[in-house]
Structure 1
Amino acid sequence: MSGETFDLDKQQLMEREFAQMESKLPGAVYSIRQKVALTCRILFDNGHDSGLAGQITARGETSGTFLTQRLGFGFDEISAGNLLLVDEDLQVLEGDGMPNPANRFHSWVYRARSDVRCIIHTHALHTAALSMLEEPLVISHMDNCVLYDDVAFLPNWPGVPVGNEEGELIAGALGNKRALLLAHHGLLVACSSIEEACLIALAFERTARMQLLASAAGRIQPIEPVLAREAHDWILRMSRSASAFAYYARRTLKQCSDCLLE
């Protein structure tokens, strides 16, 4: 019977759609190693390339361990088979080579946040450019509301983040947020799933690009906080993240199916 939803209010309609998302949105089944490798390739394809800079990690099955890429490999060269499993002291447990020494601050974030399963740090171009202005990320568009009230800001650059002091500072600045803009540096994303972290990293760089474009044309206008939080919760659904990640994975795999090889 048609027209049965026309008397429902917005909240009822949103709950109805949430239920459908849980049962009908397509996802994809990949191992943790494959998800990390796909995330590296997806981010490379979407402007997060900066040579050998940046790290992507995901908690391992054993407490105090995480997967990461090998130092010397670009994001576009990562596969499930060349990832490293390291402990929180960055000692290699599985794989050949060494991790990026900057992974030390990942260990600090994992220690501080038991809810975090994946951390992404990149020097994406527009984010890096924005970081040079020492200004926080501004959320003022519907597409970017996944980051609304969820991005911390570290205004002081601590230098190369290979020391424990930098790790403690970055973990403290992140607090309970999902993302952090580091002045004169780049972005940090810390999420409860690899899929969510990948998508928020993509959203972060797009937001930075939009901010630079908009601010060059005029003054960015704020959006209504209640509506922004509504949009944040609407976008940030596990089923929606899984489906969006599957889309980006399909797009990337058209060019590099070898990245799934373990």
Structure 2
Amino acid sequence: MTYSTDPLSTLLHDLVHAFQILAMDGQGSGISGHLTARLPGARTFWSIPYGYGFEEATADELIESDFDLRTVTGTLPCNPTLNIHTEIYEARPEVCCILHTHSEASLTLGIVGSNLEPVTQSGALFYEDIVLFDEFDGIVLDKKEGANIASWLGSNRAILLRNHGSVVVGASVAETTIAATVLEFAARVQLSAMAVGTPKLLPAAEIRQTKAFLQRPDVIDLRWKLLVRQARRHNPQFSAERTSK
């Protein structure tokens, strides 16, 4: 597998694969989930058009939008609820990819008012790095509501939105996508444990050591490449490259 050295081409290539990976993981949420990515420091971002599902993403379908949710590259409209993303991008210059989804396990944790606890090895990725937003603001249609969520997120990797879903952020498409799959798995395991007893928490020192390992660039790279291979086997028909028109 070869990758372009052009930053934008690489970003779009990774973004299309991320849509396919998350669809395969059951995180598409119909037309209600949203995944966006931007180049470092950019005040525009890339996503699929409003009304599209994750599994429909191809490089040619991606659109570029500004922070007022106006399409600047492409012809189709941007999702009107992406103020969550724009306000996080405003507050977090280092963030280059954001996922908001209503995946079942993460949603369920928020519904019962529980945050993700350090009970799984892979879930160590979120140790002291995830918060619970214990409010429900309805559909996020303006910047004020998006800014409120961004404020609650703070410097963390993720936030559970009560009765709503989750938001996961990262410095790259790979980092965000991996974290999203881990969050859903860890939430599912925690819910299963809560159903039969009291989950035992991992020791703080050991979980910090585990988190440091999971955040290593070489580990992220290997996990990302595996997810990409799995997505391409799962849906060999999709195109990750833009065509000239």
Q: Shared fold by TM > 0.5?
A: yes
The residue that corresponds to 2:85 in the other structure is 106
Runs of at least 4 residues off by over 4 Å? none
Letter in 1 for 2:202: I
Question: Which residue of the other structure, out of 46, 55, 70, is the alignment partner of 2:49?
Answer: 70
Report if the CA contact (8 A) 2:115-2:132 is conserved: yes
Within the alignment, does 1:232 sit opposite 2:206 as a pair? no
The residue that corresponds to 2:174 in the other structure is 195
The residue that corresponds to 1:90 in the other structure is 69
Distance 2:41 2:12 in 1: 14
Distance 1:75 1:224 in 2: 37
The residue that corresponds to 1:59 in the other structure is 38
The residue that corresponds to 1:157 in the other structure is 136
Change over 3 Å in CA distance of 1:102–1:117 after alignment to 2 = same
The residue that corresponds to 2:220 in the other structure is 241
Task: State the Cα deviation string for residues 136-186 of structure 1 (Å, max 9, x = none).
Answer: 111211121111111111011111111122111110011001111111111
Distance 2:2 2:164 in 1: 33
Within the alignment, does 1:138 sit opposite 2:117 as a pair? yes
Shift of 1:62: 7.0
Q: Secondary structure at the match of 1:248?
A: helix
Segment of structure 1 superposing worse, 28-37 or 45-54: 28-37
Report if the CA contact (8 A) 1:42-1:252 is conserved: yes
Q: Secondary structure at the match of 2:64?
A: strand
Within the alignment, does 1:120 sit opposite 2:94 as a pair? no
Q: Secondary structure at the match of 1:241?
A: helix
TM norm structure 1 = 0.86
Q: Secondary structure at the match of 1:162?
A: coil
Report if the CA contact (8 A) 1:60-1:85 is conserved: no
The residue that corresponds to 1:34 in the other structure is 13
Shift of 1:261: 3.0
Shift of 1:256: 2.9
Q: Secondary structure at the match of 1:101?
A: coil
Task: State the Cα deviation string for residues 30-89 of structure 1 (Å, max 9, x = none).
Answer: 621111111111011012132111111111477311111111110000011101101111
The residue that corresponds to 1:259 in the other structure is 239
RMSD of Structure 2 on Structure 1 (CA): 1.5
Larger Rg: 1
Q: Secondary structure at the match of 2:132?
A: strand
Question: What is the identity percentage for the equivalent residue pairs of Structure 1 and Structure 2?
Answer: 28
Structure 1: stretches of 5+ with no match in the other structure:
1-26
Change over 3 Å in CA distance of 1:62–1:134 after alignment to 2 = closer
Report if the CA contact (8 A) 2:40-2:94 is conserved: no
Question: Which residue of the other structure, out of 169, 173, 182, is the alignment partner of 2:161?
Answer: 182
The residue that corresponds to 1:167 in the other structure is 146
Distance 1:171 1:206 in 2: 24
Q: Secondary structure at the match of 1:39?
A: helix
TM norm structure 2 = 0.92
Letter in 2 for 1:144: G
Letter in 2 for 1:38: H
